[in-house]
Amino acid sequence: MDRNENLAARPPIVVVLGHVDHGKTTLLDKIRNTHIQDKEAGGITQKIGASQITTKDSKKITFIDTPGHAAFSNMRSRGAEVADIAILVVAADDGVKPQTAEALDYIKKAKIPFIVAFTKTDMPSASPEKATSQLEKLGVVFEGKGGDIPHVKVSGKTGEGIKDLLETITLVAEVNGIKGDVNAPLEAVVIETSTGKGGPLASIVVRNGNLKVGDNLFNNGLVGKVKGLIGFEGKSVRNVGPGDAAQILGFSVLPIVGTKIEIKESPDVGRSQKVNKKEIRESFEGEIRILLKADTAGSLEAITASLPSKVVVIDSGVGEIGESDVLMAKSSKAEILAFNIKTRSSVMKLADTEDVKIETFDIIYKLLERLDEIIKGQDEDVSGKAQIIAIFPYNNKKVAGCKILEGVINKTDKLILKSENKNVGQVKIVSMKKQKLEISSAKSQEEFGAIIEPQLDFKVGDMLLSLRK
């Protein structure tokens, strides 16, 4: 940042990672219950996906509650630096496990400082020294041994060491100069999504800048406006600043976990053109998103290792498909592929309602062949791209006012209508006019009016793509 005079210390954003049974949840619950007075508010924070506590020294710390390894990896892979500090939880009675090493790898790749918290130190079989030695073999160099990695012994049950842990977090934040500027451009990241009575809700953490009710939002192709903000205490707030967490009400569809939220001056057409160009580029040049489920870890590993480079796995797991998988696939615009598992009728019904496709396979190469088919289906050559910038009625029909963003569109071309990164259907132009004159084609940056058949439902911001094999 150039304006250093505007920088001020802000609450550090902390993520807790480690093996599934090493006490992450117990530790977080103990911290929350000790430092959040209102127990009801503490319950609400779990829905938001983050909680903020105030230490006895009046220092604030924001914890990301439910990132999980998959979500944290997704955030990192999208270039969204979410956490400032990580806590690597290691059970003193169990030592380093595969997920511990995996979590350490995530932390190193994210290039953030971390603290090792040894849990379950009160167990008879506890051996912090053995766990320390195992971590050192993975390249962790602790304080006092020539390195700068602090470690703390804690108990999520008794609360022992919690004060030391919080003091260490505060110290690491100060040493690393974790600061924010409330006047800077907004830097916020989606950490959780859900659907409430008022519509889609996006839980965010703010790294920099300020977000307030009424702001116009931009997120990875989605446009919205902040209708409401819910703070970590579960109460409505007018604005949130650096280091804060909140839920946003204002998007028409759920944004993707791990993506960034930005503020735009106004939802104008120019902005929409840039948004949709990005959507088209992602759709035709890059991501084919899937959510992958398999019967065993071995099957999952074999499939994942064989996936084409164009395929992005937004989440994966062992076991049956659940309702949460369907909702995640919908919010991520992904298809669910399942191997050797059955799907409950209630889940299939939800998938049908939410327009999420589920395909099941019992042979791995059949699943991979299906992915090849999907890739080939997206490899059609796009010869022209036009954005709908206005809509007006004419003789009981809708005329699409369009602007060519790239290439050429001919009246005789086969066209695909695309809305919010999804294909609506194939259409043809029955009338194509420029300044009241019928034309046969339009090229880059030209504007024209078109009547399309069939008269599919379209809106401003949708795209018309001219395709040729």
Q: Residue 148 pLDDT more than 60? A: yes
C-alpha 261/C-alpha 358 separation (Å) is 29
Model confidence at 29, in pLDDT bands (50, 70, 90)?
A: confident
Predicted local distance difference test score (pLDDT) of residue 120: 85
Arithmetic mean of pLDDT, 13-41: 73
**Is domain 283-377 in CATH 3.40.50.10050, yes or no?**
yes
* 199-208 and 288-294 beta bridge pairing: unpaired
Residue pLDDT, tens place only, 93-120: 888 888 888 888 888 888 899 999 999 8
CATH architecture of the domain 187-264 equals Beta Barrel (2.40)
pTM of the model: 0.57
Residue pLDDT, tens place only, 181-213: 999 999 998 887 776 767 788 889 999 999 999
Higher pLDDT, 273 or 163: 163
Which ranges constitute the DSSP H helices of 2-54? Answer: 24-35, 39-48
Beta-carbon-side half-sphere exposure of residue 216 (alpha carbons within 13 Å):
8
Higher pLDDT, 268 or 168: 168
Beta-carbon-side half-sphere exposure of residue 412 (alpha carbons within 13 Å):
1
Cβ-based neighbours of 346, under 8 Å, separated by 6 or more: 323
Report how far apart the first and last C-alpha atoms of the chain are (Å, whole number).
Answer: 48
* Equal CATH topology for 187-264 and 283-377: no
**Is domain 4-179 in CATH 3.40.50.740, yes or no?**
no
CB 465 within 8 A of CB 416: yes
Stretch (H or E) spanning 429: strand 422-434
Arithmetic mean of pLDDT, 368-393: 81
Cβ-based neighbours of 141, under 8 Å, separated by 6 or more: 147, 148, 149
C-alpha 202/C-alpha 189 separation (Å) is 9
* 437-438 and 422-434 beta bridge pairing: antiparallel
Q: Residue 72 pLDDT more than 70? A: no
Predicted local distance difference test score (pLDDT) of residue 264: 76
- What are the distances in angstroms from CA 25 to CA 38, 91, 115? 19, 13, 17
Q: Residue 37 pLDDT more than 70? A: no
Arithmetic mean of pLDDT, 340-367: 90
C-alpha 325/C-alpha 323 separation (Å) is 5
Which ranges constitute the DSSP H helices of 240-344? Answer: 269-285, 297-305, 323-331
In the chain, where are the structural domains located?
4-179, 187-264, 283-377, 381-468
Q: Residue 76 pLDDT more than 50? A: no
Instruction: Give the type of residue at 439.
Output: I
Predicted local distance difference test score (pLDDT) of residue 271: 38
Q: Tokens representing 80?
A: 């969204």
- Homologous superfamily of domain range 381-468: Translation factors (2.40.30.10)
Q: Residue 158 pLDDT more than 50? A: yes
Q: Residue 385 pLDDT more than 80? A: yes
Maximum Cα interatomic distance, the chain, rounded to a whole number of Å: 87
